Amino acid sequence: MKVELENLTKRWGNVVGADHLNLDIDDGEFVAFLGPSGCGKTTTLLMVAGIYKPTEGFVRFDGRVVNHVAPKDRNVGMVFQSYALYPHMTVFQNISYPLKLKKVPRDEMQKRAQRVADMMGIGHLMDRKPAQLSGGQQQRVALGRALVKEPALLLFDEPLSNLDARLRLSMRSEIKRLQIDLGITSIYVTHDQVEAMTMADRIAVMKDGKLQAYATPEELYDQPRTLFVAGFIGNPPMNFLEVEVTRENGDYHARREGFDVIVPPDRGAKAAGRGTVILGIRPEDVALADEGIPGEIYVVEPLGRDDLLDVRIGGASIHVLADPTLGLKIGDAVRLNFNTHKVQFFDPQTEMSLLWTD
């Protein structure tokens, strides 16, 4: 199923939940709605489901406007953060309940429920009740219940938030593989950028009800179109510095107190002569070196595989990933080398990229 949102808006008085959203989701595509709490991602999902009615705009399924189609008639399956399982029902009864409501014959209902349960790895648990299941098993039951009615569209509202980190990782892989195998168009709401980056074909980044960007994970990471997207995508987050870019003797210099780097012409030319601009660079694109910009370690955060260093340079803070075996300590003097082919530049007023927007 192809899904289209056209000028989709939801307001409650002066409160705007979603503000003129425009995006399309191709048949079989997995799209994540990503953003901080209160950005409008769940509101948008509920309008797609038919639970909320849009104030303005349209939701289209395969070109057909469905604004006034009831949720039960949209052929949509939903999985929530809360598993919403019936505690007095067995796994079989929970999974097959949507089929029971549709008055599907019992033999077919049993076959479909068992097939979905086997697919989810819980086929041996059909006689158990939710209280006898782990969190991961309960989530599989909830997903099985959404799949058993063979929906054309799957909607996920932060389904992994209640699981521990190890289980989240395995369920992430299972959901993505299941979606690929079944080819069901899917929308996945999350505030976790790792979930969005690892699972989605495309990500819609939202803030304050507005769509900030809609692109592949790679495009969002390498070519962020706004300051918000640049800072929200990536862990550890991108470093930001206020600099001025000038051209001297054919080279483009990005400068501030205690900081001066030469940037490539294709990037420097777009930031030069604008006064103060914001330079962005990711921690993995900054390296410790024998020669480079001097700084002092302010904090060392052990991450296991790496140490995350907070290095102070002329009043600015730069986060750098370093090898833990170096044994670096607070107060150590270091020098930093910047991969200037990866720097980003943003307008401080509009917060738009100077590299990737017109």
Residue 356 placed within a domain: no
Dihedral angle of Cα 269, 275, 278, 284, to the nearest 10 degrees: 50
The answer as to whether 282 is a domain residue is yes
173: Cβ–Cβ under 8 A, 6 or more apart, which residues?
Answer: none
Looking at the fold, whether 54 and 182 belong to one and the same domain comes out as: yes
Is 102 part of any domain? yes
26 and 124 both lie in a single domain: yes
Residues of the chain where predicted confidence (pLDDT) is lower than 70: none
The pLDDT of residue 213 is 96
- For tokens 């495009």, name the residue: 219
* Same domain, residue pair 194 and 60: yes
Indicate whether 353 belongs to any domain.
no
Sheet containing strand 210-215, edge to edge, reads 76-79, 153-157, 185-190, 30-34, 202-207, 210-215
279/151 same-domain check: no
User: 171 and 52 share a domain?
Assistant: yes
Judge whether 179 and 28 are in contact, CB under 8 Å. Answer: no
Of the three residues 226, 253, 268, the one that is the final residue of a domain is 226
Domain check: are 46 and 115 in the same one?
A: yes
pLDDT at 327: 93
Q: Which residue, of 226, 259, 284, is where some domain finishes? A: 226
Does residue 34 sit in the same domain as residue 179? yes
pLDDT of residue 165: 82
Cα–Cα dist 41/54, whole Å: 14
Q: Does 351 map to a domain?
A: no
Q: Are residues 18 and 157 in the same domain?
A: yes
Residue 358 located in a structural domain: no
Is residue 259 domain-shared with residue 136, that is, in the same domain? no
Per-residue DSSP letters for 3-29? EEEEEEEEEETTEEEEEEEEEEE-TT-
In a domain, 233, yes or no: no
How many domains does the chain divide into? Answer: 2
In CATH, what number is assigned to the domain containing residue 257?
2.40.50.140
| Phi, psi (rounded to 5 degrees) for 56 | -140, 165
Q: Which residues contact 343 (CB under 8 A, 6 or more apart)?
A: 254, 261, 263, 267, 279, 280, 281, 285
Domain check: are 121 and 206 in the same one? yes
Q: Among residues 202, 226, 250, which one ends one of the domains?
A: 226
Task: Give yes or no: residues 174 and 148 share one domain.
Answer: yes
Give residue-wise pLDDT tens across range 225-237.
999 999 999 999 9
pLDDT by residue (tens digit) across 73-121? 999 999 988 888 999 999 999 999 999 998 999 999 999 999 999 988 8
Would you state the pLDDT for residue 120? 86
Specify if 354 maps to a domain. no
Q: Hey, is 53 helix, strand or coil?
A: coil
| pLDDT for res 301 | 97
pTM, rounded to two decimals: 0.91
Same domain, 210 and 72: yes
pLDDT for 166 equals 84
Residue numbers of the domain that contains 65: 3-226
Q: Output the domain CATH number for residue 143.
A: 3.40.50.300
